[in-house]
């Protein structure tokens, strides 16, 4: 959820107005990521949460981690990922702090890290659950084989795979991704369902 714009006061106010309108319309699930607007989207969301103390328990709050952003402003697209225990734990703590909440309903690994140690990731998930910082786990943009590998080591089911699916991209229908979701009760979460993607999730 990119709602920070250029993070000016005016854009932040527009972002908060959009969140309030979504909640008033009945939206209950809000999807964040540590890299969206460098974390500013999460901090804007926290300002709305603080306006009504009972709101947190009415919402499902998701965030994602694992993408390493380049420190070079001339590099617009990152190809680096980090699923190490230290990195995941730190990024979850930072997201919780920005959001002003005690736990995430769902944590997703943002994009596959080809150097992932699935056993280490699964152990990290266990730690986050024991610390009551995350209630459920899933992935984003994972191929069926990648999800299956991670699930093999996890003590709890992976609940979701957030994937691009729209009229311009139907690969999830043909590569086994949706078949796997149906077979194992995994929720597919569509990003850019109307197409016209400007930024990858």
Catalytic residue annotation: 36
Yes or no: say if 137 and 163 are a contact pair by the CB < 8 Å rule. Answer: no
Beta bridge partners of 45: none
Tokens of 47: 């300002």
Q: How many CB atoms lie within 10 A of CB 2?
A: 15
In the chain, the largest separation of any two C-alpha atoms, in whole Å, equals 47
CA distance 89 to 70: 20
CB atoms within 10 A of CB 109: 28
CA-to-CA separations, 53 to 56, 59, 101, 184, 194, in angstroms, rounded: 7, 12, 11, 36, 34
Please name the residue ranges forming H helices in the chain: 9-24, 40-51, 85-99, 118-130, 144-153, 171-174, 177-184
């Amino acid at each position: 959820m990119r709602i920070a714009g250029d993070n000016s006061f005016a854009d932040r106010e527009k972002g908060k107005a959009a969140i309030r309108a979504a909640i008033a319309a009945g939206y209950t699930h809000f999807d964040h990521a540590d890299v969206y607007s460098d974390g500013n989207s999460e901090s804007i969301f926290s300002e709305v949460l603080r306006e009504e103390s009972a709101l947190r328990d009415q919402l499902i709050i998701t965030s994602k981690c694992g993408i390493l952003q380049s420190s070079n402003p001339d590099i617009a697209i990152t190809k680096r990922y980090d699923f190490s225990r230290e990195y995941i734990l730190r990024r979850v703590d930072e997201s919780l702090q920005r959001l002003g909440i005690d736990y995430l309903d769902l944590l997703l690994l943002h994009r596959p890290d080809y150097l992932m140690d699935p056993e280490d990731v699964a152990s990290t998930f266990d730690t986050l659950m024991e610390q009551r910082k995350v209630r459920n786990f899933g992935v984003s943009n994972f191929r069926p084989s990648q999800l299956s590998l991670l699930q093999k080591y996890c003590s709890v089911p992976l609940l979701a795979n957030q994937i691009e699916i729209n009229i311009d991209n139907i690969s999830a229908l043909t590569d086994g991704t949706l078949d796997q979701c149906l077979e194992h009760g995994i929720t597919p979460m569509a990003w850019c369902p109307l197409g016209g993607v400007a930024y990858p999730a």
